[in-house]
Amino acid sequence: GQNIDQPTEMTATEGAIVQINCTYQTSGFNGLFWYQQHAGEAPTFLSYNVLDGLEEKGRFSSFLSRSKGYSYLLLKELQMKDSASYLCAVRADYKLSFGAGTTVTVRA
Amino acid sequence: EAGVAQSPRYKIIEKRQSVAFWCNPISGHATLYWYQQILGQGPKLLIQFQNNGVVDDSQLPKDRFSAERLKGVDSTLKIQPAKLEDSAVYLCASSLSDGTDTQYFGPGTRLTVL
C-alpha cells in the first residue's frame, strides 16, 4: 500500500494563503490528485499532477516533485467557503489511495 | 450533466442486520468504485468494477461484504451481517474509462451500526 502523510489541521485568516503539504512513498506512481471535502459531503476533484511542476487553476495551485515524493496544494485569497478537508490521493498501478485529509479552518 | 447518485443517504441498523446501498454512476462512465470512509480518515477502496467485471476487490471483506454491477451500469453494495466497525460513509465514484481517469464521487451513504 501507499504511505501518504499530510497535516491533520490548519487554520488561516480570510484573504490569506495556505499551503497544504503531502508526502508519499510508493512504487508504480501514475499521478497525484487533490480533492476538497466539505463536512458531510462527497469529495470533489480539485487538481491532478502527473509531471513535476506547478499546475494553476484560479485560486488553487498544486505542485508535484516525483523524485521527492512531495506535493502541495496552495490556496490563495482564502474565503470562508474554503473551510473543508483537503485530501491528497496518490494513484499507483492505477489504484487510488487517499491520505487522511487536512482540515482547513478559515477565520474571519 | 447529472452526477453520481446514491441511496439511501442515511441508514441506521443494529449489528448483525443486513443493509444494501445503491449507486448510479455518471452516464457513460465505465468504471465504478465503492469506498469506505471512516470518520477522520480518507476513503478506502473496497471494490472497483469496469463495466460489469471486477477489477480489484482485494480490500473487500468478502465474508460479509458483497457487490454487484450486473448490467454494467448501476451497482449495489451489501453488508451481511453488519458489525459495529462498519459504521462509516460509503462513497460511490465513477470514471470515464479506466483507472487512468479522474474519479467523481457521489454524496455517500452514512451508515450507523448500533
SS3 of A25, please? strand
How far apart CA A2 and CA A88 sit, in angstroms, is 12
Instruction: Judge: A98–B42 Cβ closer than 8 Å, yes or no.
Output: yes
Q: Closest approach of chain A CAs to the CA of B70, in angstroms?
A: 22
Q: What is the pLDDT of residue B100?
A: 72
Instruction: Judge: B56–A91 Cβ closer than 8 Å, yes or no.
Output: no
Mean predicted lDDT score pLDDT of chain B: 94
State yes or no: pLDDT of B98 exceeds 80: no
Model confidence at B70, pLDDT cuts 50, 70, 90, reads: confident
Of B42, B104, B110, the CB nearest to A101: B42
pLDDT above 90 covers a percentage of chain B that reads 88
Regions in chain A scoring below 70 on pLDDT: 1-2
How far apart CA B77 and CA B69 sit, in angstroms, is 9
Q: What is the pLDDT of residue B101?
A: 83
Q: Which residues of chain A are within 8 Å of residue B41 when distances are taken between CB atoms?
A: 100-101
Using one digit for the tens of pLDDT, what is the confidence trace for A80-106? Answer: 999 999 999 999 887 889 999 999 999
SS3 of B20, please? strand
How far apart CA B7 and CA B74 sit, in angstroms, is 11
Q: Which of A49-63, B32-46, B90-104 has the lowest mean pLDDT?
A: B90-104
Instruction: Judge: B43–A44 Cβ closer than 8 Å, yes or no.
Output: no
Output the CA torsion sign for B35, B41, B42, B44. Answer: negative
